[in-house]
Chains A and B, each alone.
Chain A
């Protein structure tokens, strides 16, 4: 029998045309938005003391959605004091099982309002409705559900030791998974008995402030959760406030480092979930179609606005052409466009600023000699959009291979041996995640051991679960979120 499978013949191609086009399938439910969002402090929505607001826009249409309160240091001070009062007066004293019941309520209420939240998330952030609907919101609820059950079982986290909450926790979260990151931060903090002052990202405040409504609906004691929207200075005020005993940050490595510096003179406990430049490694014996699916999921999920995105594809040399061909065929059927359309696979880039950054890095890739490919698909006339893009001929020194792009841009490199793959994968200051694709079990375990990354996805990619600790090695940060390991970060061990 002739060996027919080594190379595909480029002359024979499949036609992914317009024979059967999909009609628009917009999600039309009402997200129940307000025109103006005030700060959520001490159980109420209050205007910022300086009466400053900023507009939040829909990145898919560049239209204004609502005015968002801009908290300054004095607002943050009020929030921190409210949190402290709630901690000493109510929450810190409450039996764990009672705290847990509040978290269960929140989980349930998030499920009740899931569709509203999904639409709000998509409007404000640009991610496809199918992702906010099927991933962000259910996963956020799942985090509350998981942590609810821990609230009365904390003594199991550090055997033989006493654990106690820190008090007030200051949290600053990014714009890529607004509500989900909030859940990753608030659920364990509350389960452990802390009170929270959280600052959402500037471009995506709505679901965080809507979450304030959930807290009210749940009857959560005043001050246990406080949401202060605003800009960088607002976040700095939260982090610096003398009452915040613990600081949890998710964002870029650059900002993470500046936070570490700014808190060097304090005793605040930190957890940092920072950037990544993950390698997704495909061996020649991998189940290739699933690997391709994992590659696509790894870099195009949420427009590549994912810190653990598999932005560097390392393919074994012998199958590089075949994987590339499969990848091109796969992305030919990705649908880029209106995030609110249920069939959209890639929505809008979160902000003009981010679009500029992606565009600039892609330009650098071309300038440095990498070969660019994109699907050439039509993009909406308005809004911030970027085509799924693949670079071949990438070398380790290229900026696109070293810097976090945080967009739908994949760089492909090749390797010949497992050792070379590990070397290339680890040759980065980052160490958040990695992917390995191979049919050989022992190789998976070896690779998983050698890869310097906090999460290794073997024959899968971009999977998350409340029970599963997530966090980085090296400059991708420290501390974990999720699982018993993540929860312990919110407790003092004596």
Chain B
């Protein structure tokens, strides 16, 4: 008799813990052949609220980590992903993508993490500046993380798009509350497990699954989210912008209705980091 396999209960990764939705709701996920695969938590606005609280707790500590340390941790994440790349490939392929394509997406995702691991202690040197003011002052501009960033991933490229949106945020010390692909959430469940073993402090990245249409209005209006970095359709962008106006939230919006080449090198780099930082300029007199 063959051994009955232990199936995994998919859980969201919030505040460093694996949780079910507070609502208790789940939605069945089927594989490409239509067979039942698992039940995925259907998170609610309260789950989002809890995730924001978790991010708020983790934020100051993460932002204070040295750039070197953040780089080490992000690189460790790449190691974790590489070690379980087979599993990630299976997860990406679950949505019907070919194994080869899924494998390419996983590889690109790992590369992307490594890319940002290398940026932690460099972007400041590109983006910041010492400004030659005309008066007798030393004047310099440094970057600071914005705070808690709301990420909403598109449906396709469920791993690569998610990673591409999260990484530039956390590279600079932001925390993230992310909603995974609504149609292909499973890679985010695995990513949560890898984040948990990557030395990244709990709460820095919080991954939710559920219905975009349900969660989006709360992403729009939650005032503690200081910025949104999303790939959504035009109607959703408008909802997000309307909500963002109420607390002058920053928005970094990609158009989900147009093809986005997540594999492109143009989807990564210091400009993506720039979109999610604040510039702070300090003046001080020069005298004896």
Do A and B touch (CB < 8 Å)?
yes
A160-B269, A465-B135, A467-B132 known; A485 vs B279 contact (CB < 8 Å): yes
CB within 8 Å of B: which A260-309 residues? 260-261, 263-265, 272, 274
Q: A256-B248, A454-B278, A475-B247 are in contact. Are A469 and B241 (CB under 8 A)?
A: no
A160 to B127, CA, bound (A): 13
CA distance A258 to B242 in the complex (A): 9
Which residue of chain A has the shortest Cβ distance to B240 in the bound complex? Answer: A264
Known contacts A448-B280, A454-B279, A465-B139: does B242 contact A261 (CB below 8 Å)?
Answer: yes
- Chain A: interface residue count, which band? 35 or more
Contact A161 B271, CB 8 Å, known A465-B133, A478-B250 = yes
Q: Which of B139-170 contact A (CB under 8 A)?
A: 139, 141, 144
B10 → chain A closest CB, angstroms: 34
Are A493 and B271 in touch, CB under 8 angstroms?
Answer: yes
Q: Which of B126, B245, B246, B280 contacts A159 (CB 8 A)?
A: B126
Q: Contact residues of B with A, CB < 8 Å?
A: 126-127, 129, 131-135, 137, 139, 141, 144, 226, 237-238, 241-242, 244-248, 250, 266, 269-271, 278-285
Contacts of B285 in A (CB 8 A): 459-460
Q: For the complex, what is the distance from the CA of A253 to the CA of B137, rounded to whole Å?
A: 30
A:196-236 near B, CB below 8 Å: none
Given the known A-B contacts A465-B131, A467-B139, A485-B141, are A261 and B280 also in contact in the complex, defined by CB atoms under 8 Å?
no
The answer for the CA separation of A494 and B281 in the assembled complex, in Å, is 26
A-B residue pairs in contact (CB < 8 Å), sample of 22: A160-B269, A161-B271, A257-B245, A261-B241, A265-B238, A265-B241, A454-B281, A455-B281, A456-B283, A457-B282, A463-B135, A465-B133, A465-B139, A467-B131, A468-B133, A468-B141, A468-B281, A468-B283, A469-B141, A474-B248, A483-B131, A483-B141
Kindly list chain A residues whose C-beta atoms are within 8 Å of the C-beta of B245: 257-258, 260-261, 264
A150 within 8 A of B: no
What chain B residues lie within 8 Å of A454 (beta carbons)?
Answer: 278-281
A252-B279 Cα distance, complex, nearest whole Å: 21
A471 interface residue per 8 A CB criterion: yes
**Bound Cα distance A449, B250 (Å):** 21
Q: Are A468 and B248 in contact (CB under 8 A)?
A: no
A471 CA to B144 CA, complexed, in Å: 13
- Asked if B129 and A485 make an inter-chain contact with CB atoms under 8 angstroms apart, the answer reads yes
Contacts of B246 in A (CB 8 A): 257
The docked-state distance in angstroms from the alpha carbon of A444 to that of B133 is: 19
- How far does the Cβ of A470 sit from chain B's closest Cβ, in whole Å? 7
> Could you tell me if B282 and A456 are in contact, using CB atoms closer than 8 angstroms?
yes
Cα-based distance from A465 to B141 in the complex (angstroms): 13
Residues from chain B with a CB closer than 8 A to the CB of A483 are 129, 131, 141, 281
Could you say which of A449, A458, A469, A476 contacts B131, with CB atoms under 8 Å apart?
A: A469
Q: Which residues of A contact B248 (CB under 8 A)?
A: 253, 256-257, 260, 272, 274, 474-478
Interface residues of A (CB under 8 A from B): 142, 158-161, 253, 256-258, 260-261, 263-265, 272, 274, 429, 444, 448-449, 453-460, 463, 465, 467-471, 473-478, 480, 483-485, 493-494
How far is B248's CA from A253's CA once the two chains are assembled, in angstroms?
8
A467 to B138, CA, bound (A): 12
* Closest B residue to A453 using CB positions: B280
**Cα of A97 to Cα of B144 in the assembled complex, Å:** 34
Bound together, the chains give a CA A459 to CA B139 distance in angstroms of 12
Task: Say whether B284 contacts A465, CB under 8 Å.
Answer: no
Bound form: Cα–Cα A463–B237 in Å = 38
B270 touches A455 (CB 8 A): no
Most buried by A among B244, B247, B269, B283: B283
Q: What's the Cα separation between A463 and B280 when bound, in Å?
A: 14
Cβ of B236 to closest chain A Cβ, rounded Å: 11
7 more CB-based (< 8 A) A-B contacts, given A161-B266, A265-B241, A468-B133: A264-B238, A264-B245, A459-B284, A460-B284, A473-B278, A474-B247, A493-B271
The reply to whether A468 and B139 form a contact with Cβ atoms under 8 Å apart is: yes
Residues of chain B within 8 A of A158, CB atoms compared: 271
Distance in angstroms from B110 CB to nearest chain A CB is 22
* Docked pose: A159 CA to B274 CA in angstroms: 12
Residues of B within 8 A of A471 (CB): 279
